[in-house]
Structure 1
């Protein structure tokens, strides 16, 4: 039984192998945070590597087994953000990262949450993920572990930390740039005249 599928081929199934792997990633987030706070950087990196491997594996299996699901489309980006937040909070707790960076990253996602509510109130679903947002998330997901690599192995900190900071700060900039694009697109969308349900123009053009 494959469950109902939407226009993108995603089903409503919950208990699939890819979704179980995504839930495993989410379950490892508090472990990851605890290890960073305690200064166990090598183990934290190991957890992050396992998480990255399961992220690749669940995407591969979803396509190979035709088990793409709406739940999986929500869990994957949520897990990515939680790992970014956990890394930032853990490093800030140890005073290795300034708290203003945590505030900058979290504030952007709070803004997107507000934009989502505004769209829902006007009868629209979430906006498509912008490519710039994907690049920004990737930069943060790459830069922070490189910083942690220098903490786990001090011998290479002289090279890993400058590179990691450069990538992470660039990612933070792109993160907000993408957020501004989402805000502008939200304003454009909610100004689109709505016709009666069932008419062709009632559908949000993507």
Structure 2
């Protein structure tokens, strides 16, 4: 179903290659502003979808896909330009891959999934701040990035605990 929130999500998908071209052309700070525009479309599409009751299956699928693809592109650009370490990139990918695979397994087993929690949303904002610090080459950017990585793993642990609580009563019925 086509609506404004879904159109904004598609715009965010289109911003991914634009970010890549701008970054690869050496305009790293300008690329950050492309990322920021993508982040703002993410906030706006979610707000509009909920406010106007326009949440769709397509939007529910494309929105997290756009988010993950953008962050994957950003992290790859930062690691290949030596702005972040391979270890930091690996930690970020490990956490995200675990969340994606885990969610897919739970979904296909018919388990209830937990929507993004406040700590998960805060983690996203903290990643944007970390990327800002890295792009503008502030001296504590690397330490801050590792702090955000730790917070993201904590958010994942909390998500797993919420998932277990949500599905505790239905565990015997799933067999």
Tell me the TM-score normalized by structure 2.
0.81
Query: What does 1:120-139 correspond to in 2, within 5 Å?
Result: 120-139=107-126
Q: What's the secondary structure of 1:194's corresponding residue? A: helix
Unpaired segments ≥5 residues, structure 1:
1-13, 151-156, 197-206
Which of 141, 146, 149 is matched with 2:128 structurally?
A: 141
Are the equivalent residues in 2 in contact too, given 1:37–1:91 (CA < 8 A)? no
2:84 is equivalent to residue 107 of structure 1:
no
Q: C-alpha distance in 2, partners of 1:111/1:135?
A: 19
Distance 1:69 1:176, change over 3 A: same
For residues 28-67 of structure 1, what are the structure 2 equivalents within 5 Å? 28-67=15-54
- Show structure 1 runs of 4+ deviating over 6 A: none
How far is the alpha carbon of 1:61 from its aligned partner? 3.3
* 2:154 paired residue among 163, 173, 177: 177
**Which secondary structure state, in structure 2, belongs to the residue aligned with residue 15 of structure 1?**
coil
RMSD: 2.7
The CA deviation at 1:63 is 4.3
1 CA distance for matches of 2:104 and 2:61? 16
Larger relative contact order, structure 1 or 2 (CA cutoff 8 Å, min sep 6): 2
Structure 2 gap ranges (5+): none
The count of aligned residue pairs is 173
C-alpha separation between the residues in 1 aligned to 2:4 and 2:81? 36
TM-score norm. by structure 1 comes to 0.70
Higher helix share: 2
Question: C-alpha distance in 1, partners of 2:108/2:49?
Answer: 32
2:10 matched residue in structure 1: 23
- Point out the structure with max Rg over C-alpha: 1
